[in-house]
Structure 1
Amino acid sequence: MSEFLTIGEPISLFASEDDDKELKDALNFHKYLAGAEVNVAVGVSRLGHSAQYITSLGEDPFGDFIKDQLHENKIGTDYITGNPDYWTAFQLKQKVTHGDPGIFYFRKGSAAAHFDQAILDKIDFSDVKLVHLSGIFPAISDQASKAFQHFIDLINEHKITTTFDPNLRPQLWATQEKMVKDLNNFAKQADIILPGVAEGKILVGSEDPETIADFYLNQSGKTHTVIVKVGAEGAYIKSKDGTNTMISGYRADKVVDTVGAGDGFAVGIATALLEGKTISEAVKRGNAIGSLAVQAPGDNDGYPDRAQLESYMK
């Protein structure tokens, strides 16, 4: 079994290679593996840690592509099921030289949205040290949301450390009210929460990092640390043990694509914690990988191996 585990919906991403053209006008695309949780698994594996990914795929070319990519990235597929009745999600992404890219999803009714939670009861948790959770998977369907809660119950039953990134995708939720309620409920069941300041404005009504951190630390849950991402400035940490500090970010030489930066940050947190580093050291690594991520075109292409990370952080 692996030391790192996550659950999500992987996507075949077609990223435009035409600068600043709207998706309807773009003609040239490159195919990548994408999806927030799988991005984190890729980064964790690239830094030498064993990782397993949980999902359901359609029995189609996109599903085959994703399985091949997972194997290429040395990510375990023991808990991936195939579903011949539903299809594998894919998406189109605009290439922009500034701001956020336009994204169009083809994922409603996918195989992952029909995920059978029975596979969760077959997981061997004996070697798992950390589980990364994202707010995207429970957004794709009620069935996925129920499976997500069951997964959290199993994790906490085995007393495994969890990180939770809200990863807001309003277009996937029925209403914003439901999104806020459900994500904050999931958050209080995690040890470490990784919101961004823009997410904080929606989830807790504030962009102030300390106010966001206090909200989650004061929820009646198991959360002991909140790390608020503040873009290029870095990240703010507040913990129940008294930690209260800002860790400066790394300045990117050139921003190519901002998608995947938050997942890269989570890679830094997860891998550093697996290696027994302090939370401040973990955040510093997260800042570095997030900076590397925005300098590459794919969602996870910029994530470093061990040598690249050490060189960049120096």
Structure 2
Amino acid sequence: MGYAVVLGEALVDLLETERDGELIYRQAIGGAPLNVSVGVTRLGGEVQYFGSLGNDTLGDRIAAFLRLTGVGTTGLTRVPVPTTLAVTTFEGAEPTFQFYGEPPSYALLRPEDVDEKVVAGAAVLYAGSISLMREPFRAAARKAWAVPGPLKVFDPNVRPKLLPDAAAVAELRDLVDEFFATADLVKLSSADAEVLWEGASPAAAAERILKTGAKAVVVTCGSQGAYVAAGQSTVMLPAPTVDAVDATGAGDSVMGALVRRLLAGGVPAGPEGWQSYVRFALAVAGLVCERPGGAVAMPTAEELTARWGALL
């Protein structure tokens, strides 16, 4: 089956909530790539995580959580800055993020921190998210992405609060196109697509990404499900009905589930295989939405079977 290498940010989410009539912020370990790492591991896959953590108490907690969860920390680097905080507010179950900490602790992974032998030995390589917007992480990710061997999966994970103007959006668009061009799978949200391409629909975004060279595209659409494009086949798959409490990490859980399927079965032979992978991923995301968010919401295979039974 092999293992996955996941590159990207780990940070602490401060999740807005209410207790005894008072607005408070609940601390949760997060960051999209960290969530993906935990999601894959909880589903029975093996992950080596590459990223930078602040050399402080919060960084210690993240490192301990990764070890406890079983995520490999071969590529973990500690850096002498405070751990980045993501203050998270909600409209319904959907989160909005505001980031605090400069320089960001999550973006200080250097090219020399990337062990090319570990990357080359992986079955799947994940890159993407907000770490790519900063150096030296961007150079580190480019180095890893250039290593031949693993299947390459990418998620732009756009955060509008980090894009102050049209020029910043255009710069990000060029950057993600670079990674799309050689990706075996791109996963993004419909909200990502709207920001990157001026309100583009899932279908329009998928078509554009496939034209760059990507082999398959999954566009998640919240409670509506996911749009799947592979080869000449396109389909909208419905999400299971859930009573959503918190959608934080739901998109990351989709990616984690897809990486787990790729580790187990490789690239599907045809569109039906991709659709099967995505149905599984949507079931994982549905269960995540029924729990308070962040990495701790990622389910095990046993929890999935208990929740969905025959759906899987």
TM-score between both structures, scaled by the size of structure 1: 0.87
Q: Which of the numbers 235, 254, 259 marks the counterpart of 1:245?
A: 235
Does residue 50 (structure 1) correspond to residue 46 (structure 2)? The answer is yes
The answer to whether the 8 A contact 1:273-1:279 is kept is no
The aligned runs of 1:118-133 (5 Å cut-off) are 118-125=112-119, 127-133=121-127
Q: Following the alignment from structure 2 to structure 1, what is the Cα–Cα distance between the partners of residues 117 and 31?
A: 22
2:51 partner letter:
T
For residues 95-148 of structure 1, the C-alpha deviation after alignment (integer angstroms, 9 at most, x for no partner) is: x47153453322330333332210114542354111222232112x23222222
Does residue 183 (structure 1) correspond to residue 179 (structure 2)? The answer is no
Aligned partner of residue 258 in structure 1, secondary structure? coil
Query: What residue is the counterpart of 1:308 in the other structure?
Result: 303
Q: Which of the numbers 239, 246, 268 marks the counterpart of 1:257?
A: 246
Aligned partner of residue 93 in structure 1, secondary structure? strand
Aligned partner of residue 295 in structure 2, secondary structure? coil
For residues 142-163 of structure 1, the C-alpha deviation after alignment (integer angstroms, 9 at most, x for no partner) is: 3222222222112xx22x1111
2:47 partner letter:
A
2:46 partner letter:
S
Aligned partner of residue 297 in structure 2, secondary structure? coil
Aligned partner of residue 291 in structure 2, secondary structure? coil
Which is bigger in relative contact order (C-alpha 8 A, separation at least 6)? Answer: 2
The answer to whether the 8 A contact 2:116-2:144 is kept is no
Structure 1 range deviating more: 142-151 or 41-50: 142-151
Query: What residue is the counterpart of 2:216 in the other structure?
Result: 225
- Per the alignment, do residues 110 and 213 of structure 1 end up closer, same or farther by CA in structure 2, a change over 3 Å counting? closer
Q: Which of the numbers 89, 93, 114 marks the counterpart of 2:88?
A: 93
Query: What residue is the counterpart of 1:79 in the other structure?
Result: 75
1:52 partner letter:
Q
The answer to whether the 8 A contact 1:217-1:226 is kept is yes
Aligned partner of residue 171 in structure 1, secondary structure? helix
TM-score between both structures, scaled by the size of structure 2: 0.88
Identity %: 24
Q: Following the alignment from structure 2 to structure 1, what is the Cα–Cα distance between the partners of residues 198 and 26?
A: 38
Q: Which of the numbers 105, 109, 115 marks the counterpart of 2:109?
A: 115
Structure 1 residues without counterparts, runs of 5 or longer: none
The answer to whether the 8 A contact 2:119-2:125 is kept is no
**Structure with higher helix content:** 2
**Structure with higher strand content:** 2
The answer to whether the 8 A contact 1:132-1:162 is kept is yes
The aligned length equals 300
Query: What residue is the counterpart of 1:170 in the other structure?
Result: 160
1:92 partner letter:
V
For residues 259-288 of structure 1, the C-alpha deviation after alignment (integer angstroms, 9 at most, x for no partner) is: 211101111211122221621111001111
